[in-house]
Structure 1
Amino acid sequence: MTTATVLAAELARSRLNATIGELTQLLYRSAYSTLMRESRDCSISLLSDRGEALVDRPGPFHGSSYNYLVKRVLERYDDLAPGDVFMTNHPYDAGIPHTPDLAVVVPAFVGDTLVGFSASIAHKSDFGGSVIGSASMDATQLYQEGLLLPLTRVARGSAEAELDPGVMGIIAANVRTPDLFFGDMRAQLGVTRVGAARLSALAERTGVEVLRGCFAMLLDQGERALRDVIAGWPDGEATVTGFLDSDGIRLDTPVKIAVTVRIAGDSVEFDLTGSDDQTLGPVNMTKMYADSAVFYAVISCAAPDFGFSDSVRRVVTIKRRPGSLFDPNTLAPVGAATSMQHRLVDLCFEALGMLVPGAGSAHSGGSGGTVGIEWASAEQRGRSFQYEVLGTAMGAVHDSDGVSGVTAYYTNLGITPVEVLESQYPVRINRFELITDSAGAGRYRGGLSYRREYEALAPASVRRRSERGRFPARGVAGGHDGSLATVSIRRSDGTVERLPVAGRYELHPHDLLTIEGSGAGGYGDPRERPADVVLADVRAGAVSVQAAAAEYGVVIDERIELDEAGTRLARQEARR
């Protein structure tokens, strides 16, 4: 390997990372909907001519899907040409996480030579199906979750070719918000085409064969980086089990997830075969989507600075059982798979932490869920649809507190600003705050979650996908669990209704809908947290005076000062 070859590979990596970063921002800024523009539920990736993701920044939950998606293009079409555009939203046919996600693939050429692919995945506010927003907790079949568009070539002939009017007409006839859909879709298409043009330009600059050699080297480097770290981990096996509240249909039946991790030499295996059979409700995960959760956990523990690439597939193997949660049959609904995904990451981290000193973390607050509100508004002459993605909190780790009020794990999703919602929909956000004592106590405290209160200014129907209403974020190494999620409605007459954290709720004008996310777990014995740090938590509103005493053994007086003598006594009593 010559110095010139290494330099060329590093130059290619730098340019690819910079280009993906630029395209990602362009994707946000070009979008029409708050879901893409504010929540940023979208991503773009550049891949090799064999469909391999090469560098980091694949975006929210989509990293593993790109490999399968582009390889399906290569398998099905042997006549790829400049100007081709492919689209799909099919979870089983093309590896898309769930039906509201539209994937766009554009091959990149130098002359007639294929040099790679530009691909994007972006969540649409509606893609048809039995309910507005497409994904709900009520679906029992994939067909109920939206129009299914198999992998389809929708344009060819030139970089500006118009999309197939027949396919676009079918989509238009099935989506409830066509203006939003096609505005977002055309933004996504334009950015993906720009990505292909940038990849072609890079190949022309370096030479096609040189660039292919660089791509191979990047994947080899990623493999070596992972193997070098894993080889230093102790060999061993660990099994952990967790539960999801329900599948959305059988509300009294928890869903079991079992993860066994086996480390041997410089490779690692994740065995998911002990998990439940596929569910009637929509919390199943396709194989491609489950891969993302497992790969993320390994990369985060082994080589977080290196980032994601498909080289991880050479090092990590995943076992699953056909007909189970993580290898469901083709018609099984998957619309709420994000809830399952966060729980799977939690368990992967916990299992790795049992084997590898300093690895893993306490459980996160979970996905935070989605809020879809269909408004009846006279001012808007019809119905409008508000769709949000909410965050929760990150679990504590062996040397740091968890992060509060964020979307957990490998996602760039953001919470839609209050001002945007109030300017576009008949709603008033009365409260949006972090919740005192929602974090699991520990030597390192978990992250706090949020409280968001909506005042309806028009009649509305709310659909919420969420979890952690029954099973809190687990603390580890002696850390305490986080708080549970809750949903309630205070009616205009003053009565209060406690509701399941996932489901459908009806609002009337001036009803108050309050949603609380779940807090994250703590790490280590709370009584080992320095008393002055607990005092700072109390002053910041993260921990109450009562919880400081009960969970941390730290006594705070009425002046919000540390009672050192009382604290020493309380902690001595706790140790005894």
Structure 2
Amino acid sequence: MDPITIEVIKYATIFIAEEMGIILRNTAFSPNIKDRHDHSCAIATASGEIVAQAEHIPVHLGSLFVGIKNVLEYLSKEGISLDQGDIIITNDPYIAGTHLNDVMLLKPIYVKGKILGYLVNKAHHVDVGEDIIKVLQSNVRVPKYFKGDLMAQIASLNVGEKRILELINRYGYDVISESWNEILAYTEKFTRSKINELVKTYDLVGIYEASEYMELSDNSLVKIKVSVSINSESIHVDFSGTDPQVNEPINAVYGVTVAATTFALKAVIDPQMPMNSGFYRVIRIQAPKGSLVNPEPPAPVGGGNVETSQRIVDVIFKALSKALLDRVPAASCGTMTNVIIGGKNWVFYETIACGSGGRPSSDGVDGVHTNMTNTLNTPIEVIEQNYPILFIRYELRRDSEGPGKYRGGLGITRAFKVLEDNVILTIFSERSLIRPWGIAGGKEALPSEHYVIRSNGKVERLGSKGKTILNKGDIVVINTPGGGGYGDPCTRDRELILKDISEGKISVKKAMKYYCFEEHG
């Protein structure tokens, strides 16, 4: 086929996925989708391979590769066929590939009685119920938000369908179908060539291993272990040795493990290339069934999507740092710091930003959603307008970075007061015991630290995971971790140290202790 036509169709398809996202968030009701953009959109071939995806949430997008396949296999097994206009809705984490709050919609693209492909999106609903819309509405605290967000997802699919049909009217069914297949084949070929370059450039041989530990609610630890082997055209990632699934919601379904693994590998291979299922053809993932990274039902998995995914990225980067030190960062904060707060008729959810890891040639980023998430923060004005919450502080967390020649990014301090009684607060985070690590001589970052200041002045420490009841006047303080440092902090440019001090990001005391800084030098 004409390569110019293929390229035009490739980027047209990608932009259709992007437009689907624009429609979804512009018509959504809840702040989590409308303001934070906690949603993702993609387009798949008739066989279920993703041909285009918008630049949305990595943990959603990577898991859609598994979710679409699972849905199509389920339909085939049950003898169910989709007619034109039908939409599949599922939030089963063992099918859709993330957790219950992520509601996945899939719609076939019919052209003259044949399925060309599928439109798919996934959005995080703060409150979820059962499996029929009216029943769902009766099982959530804010039914207006739930139905509005679901209708926004449907509108997104309808617009995507309209745009694909316009593309077909211009180029024809066969040209679009063949172009999509060529796009996947090219991505596969390109990825294999990039892997081959890495093998030759870095003389990659052997197996690269690493382990990370996650925290349970009783402060005990569970292990994620990974072994990465790279040959001239493919990569094998093996999680054998990872601890068995646990009776706490940090188990990560297979779709999450696939998403985190491919995210980390793509960042190392070529972060700029458009992502589609051609990439997955060269990656082999072995995740033992019944383990923390591939649990079996009914293991709880709500936090695997948001927390374990982050640590899978960390452990793969740690393993690859032994061979590709100039291509991987130090550990990022390793948590999305989930804050869920609600009363009788309202509920608010947000993930709080943190610091990313120092990089081979630049600092980590301050106060950013790292790795598997790509959401915005909810503006304080929006929160205060919609919920009985008053913000006290929202700032970068001083001295939270991991020192290094290229320091880690700073975490966030976010403090707010509740304005009514009987409010339930849930914190689900990580890195309160195991700090984000540095590499190449870089140092660890500060861990997470959360607490409640009661209206009587009493301070109640919260662990990385837990729940408490708040009453009017209580103040919640969230401190997220920074990112680890890269390189010896004593080699950091003095002008950068002075800049950080002048901006209040690090103290003179810390500069003198870790950066070999002399105040009057």
Q: Do both share a fold (TM > 0.5)?
A: yes
CA distance in 2: counterparts of 1:272 and 1:50, whole angstroms: 28
Q: 1:278 maps to what in 2?
A: 245
Unaligned runs of 5+ in 2: 199-203
Matched residue SS, 1:297 = helix
How far did residue 230 of structure 1 move? 1.1
Q: Deviations over 1:43-68 (max 9, x none)?
A: 11111111111134362111222233
In the alignment, which of 430, 434, 456 is matched to residue 392 of structure 2? Answer: 430
Say if 1:45 and 1:119, in contact at 8 Å, map to a contact too. Answer: yes
Partner residue, 1:186: 151
Take 1:434 and 1:417, find their aligned partners in 2: how far apart are those partners?
15
| Post-superposition CA distance 1:122-172 (Å, at most 9, x none) | 0111113xxxxxxxxxxxxxxxxxx3x4xxxxxxxxxxxxxxxxx323323
For residue 74 of structure 1, report the CA deviation from its aligned partner.
Answer: 3.1
Q: Residues of 1 paired with 2:353 and 2:6: CA distance?
A: 37
Aligned to 1:160: none
> Which residue pairs with 1:555 in the alignment?
518
Would the alpha carbon gap of residues 35 and 428 (structure 1) be closer, same or farther in structure 2, given more than 3 Å must change? same
Q: Note if contact 2:397-2:505 (Cα within 8 Å) is conserved in structure 1.
A: yes
Conserved? CA contact 2:41–2:61, under 8 Å: no
One-letter identity of the residue aligned with 1:325: L
Give the aligned partner of residue 158 of structure 1: none
Candidates 451, 458, 469, aligned match of 1:495: 458
1:25 to 19, 22, 27: 22
Q: Which moved more, 1:217-226 or 1:56-65?
A: 56-65
Q: Deviations over 1:430-486 (max 9, x none)?
A: 100001110100010001010001111112110111111111111111110111101
Per-residue CA shift, 1:384-427, capped at 9, x if unaligned?
Answer: 21221222121111111101111111432111111111111111
Question: Secondary structure, in 3 states, of the residue corresponding to 2:367?
Answer: strand
State whether structure 2 residue 153 is matched by structure 1 residue 224.
no
Q: Is the 8 A contact 2:401 2:408 kept in 1?
A: yes
CA distance in 2 between partners of 1:534 and 1:74 (Å) = 55
Partners of 1:357 and 1:476 in 2: how far apart?
A: 8
Cross-structure match for 2:84: 82
Aligned residues: 509
Q: Does 1:469 align with 2:426?
A: no
Counterpart of 1:113, as a letter, is K
Equivalent position to 1:507, from 457, 470, 478: 470
Structure-2 residue corresponding to 1:258:
225
Q: CA RMSD in A?
A: 1.5
State how far apart, in whole Å, the 2-side matches of 1:425 and 1:260 are: 46
Give the AA of the match of 2:125.
K
CA distance in 1, matches of 2:288, 2:474: 46
C-alpha distance in 2, partners of 1:527/1:540?
20
1:95–1:286: 8 Å Cα contact kept in structure 2? no
Q: State yes or no: 1:297 paired with 2:264.
A: yes
1:319 Cα deviation from its structure 2 partner? 1.2
Q: Which amino acid aligns with 2:254?
A: K
Determine helix, strand or coil for the equivalent of 1:350.
helix
The answer to which of 292-301 and 37-46 deviates more is 37-46
* Cα distance in 1 for residues equivalent to 2:322 and 2:438: 13
Match of 1:161 in 2: none
Post-superposition Cα deviations, 1:236-272, rounded to whole Å, max 9, x if no partner, equal 32111111121x3xx1310111111111112111110
2:107 alignment partner in structure 1? 106
Residue of structure 2 in register with 1:152 after alignment: none
- The answer to whether the 8 Å contact 1:339/1:466 transfers is yes
SS in 2 for 1:383: coil
Partner of residue 534, structure 1: 497
CA contact (8 A) 2:339 2:350 kept: yes
1:401 lines up with 2:363 in the alignment: yes
Find the residue that maps to 2:208 and give its secondary structure.
strand
The residue that corresponds to 1:241 in the other structure is 211
Matches within 5 A, 1:353-364: 353-364=321-332
Q: TM-score, normalised by structure 1?
A: 0.86
**Which shifted more, 441-450 or 190-199?**
190-199
What one-letter code is carried by the residue in structure 2 that aligns with 1:91? P
The 1-side partners of 2:374 and 2:53 are apart by 13
Q: Percent identity?
A: 30
Q: Which deviates further from its counterpart, 269-278 or 227-236?
A: 227-236
Pairwise CA distance, 1:357: 4.4
Report the secondary structure of 2:346's partner residue: strand
- Contact 2:62/2:263 (8 A) holds in 1: no
Selected match of 1:72 from 62, 70, 73: 70
Determine if contact 1:116/1:199 at 8 Å carries over to the other structure. no
**Alpha-carbon separation, structure 2, partners of 1:74 and 1:408:** 31
Distance 2:168 2:205 in 1: 42
CA distance in 1, matches of 2:219, 2:436: 19
Which residue of the partner structure matches residue 352 of structure 1? 320
Separation in structure 1 between the aligned mates of residue 468 and residue 381 of structure 2, nearest angstrom:
24
Preserved CA contact (<8 Å) 1:35 1:389: no
1:170-210 deviation digits (Å, cap 9, x = unpaired): 32333332221111111111111211222222223211111
Question: For 1:536 and 1:70, how far apart are their aligned partners in 2?
Answer: 48
Letter aligned with residue 424 of structure 1: N
8 Å CA contact 1:63–1:308 kept in 2: the answer is: no
Match of 2:201 in 1: none
Separation (CA, whole Å) in 1 of partners of 2:458 and 2:8: 63
CA distance in 2, matches of 1:70, 1:435: 40
Structure 1 residue 411 corresponds to structure 2 residue 370:
no
Contact residue 39 and residue 389 of structure 1 kept, 8 A: no
Unpaired runs of at least 5, structure 1: 129-146, 150-166, 376-381, 557-562, 565-576
Cα deviation for residue 70 of structure 1 reads: 2.5
Q: Counterpart amino acid of 2:65?
A: N
Contact 1:443 1:529 in 2 (8 A): yes
Provide the secondary structure at the position in 2 that maps to 1:184. helix
Identify which range, 444-453 or 40-49, moves more after superposition.
40-49
Superposed CA offset, 1:87-143 (max 9, x none): 100011x23300111111111122212111111100111113xxxxxxxxxxxxxxx
Amino acid at match of 1:118: L
Within 5 Å, which residues of 2 pair with 1:321-332?
321-332=288-299
CA drift at 1:223: 1.2
Checking the alignment, whether the CA contact within 8 Å between 1:47 and 1:54 is kept in structure 2 is yes
2-structure distance, mates of 1:206, 1:329: 45
**C-alpha distance in 2, partners of 1:190/1:515?**
36
State the match for 1:132 in structure 2: none
**1:371 counterpart residue number:** 339
What letter corresponds to residue 367 of structure 1 in structure 2?
Answer: T
